[in-house]
Amino acid sequence: MQPIYLVNNFGQSNHLIKRMLRDLEIDAVMIKNDTPAEEVEGNCRGIILSGGPSLERAGYGPEYVDLGLPVLGICLGLHIIATRRGGSVQPGKMGGFGGVEVEIIEDNPLFEGYPDKISVWASHADEVNQIPEGFTLNAVSDICPAEAISKADENIYGIQWHPEVSHTFEGHRIFENFDRITRENI
């Protein structure tokens, strides 16, 4: 079975994502975001777009969203998904640095097994302010109006928080659910 590609967007916690995937026995390979899309297509079963400092340094990440593979965007990865599909991102009014209570308002396969409210860890200044057409708003918080969005019919999911850190309630479940989604898509 092909691995999941973890796209390095220069985020400070890429190694934590990779470690969590390894600990969960999910086969994943980290790739640089300057890897051409044609080298990604056909060589993996799903893509995780990691966090990072800015959309300007997203490399080929936006192109990966359109490969027909399941995609999970984390923090900057969410912003890549949103802007690639016609949404927009702007500096948040408050930013999110620390613990946040997130309310799941519309369930999807990525959130299977979660309660309606979860405590998560945020680390961002920017946020999605316009959701792309055809996407569903899945989660909100007091500091961020779009904590999670999805286009489930294309297996595209984006979350603003960091499931890879220990401060996020059962963050491992996000990766387990995404792994299941990629396996069902084969």
List the catalytic residue out of 79, 127, 144, 162.
162
Residue 157's CB: how many other CB atoms inside 10 A? 30
Active site residue 44: no
List the catalytic residue out of 63, 127, 147, 164.
164
CA dist 140 and 146 (Å) reads: 5
With contact defined as beta carbons under 8 Å apart, do 143 and 97 qualify?
A: no
Three-state DSSP class for 62? helix
Active site residue 144: no
Active site residue 79: no
CA dist 94 and 105 (Å) reads: 21
List the catalytic residue out of 44, 75, 127, 147.
75
Name the residue among 48, 46, 90 with its Cα closest to residue 73. Answer: 48
Active site residues: 75, 162, 164
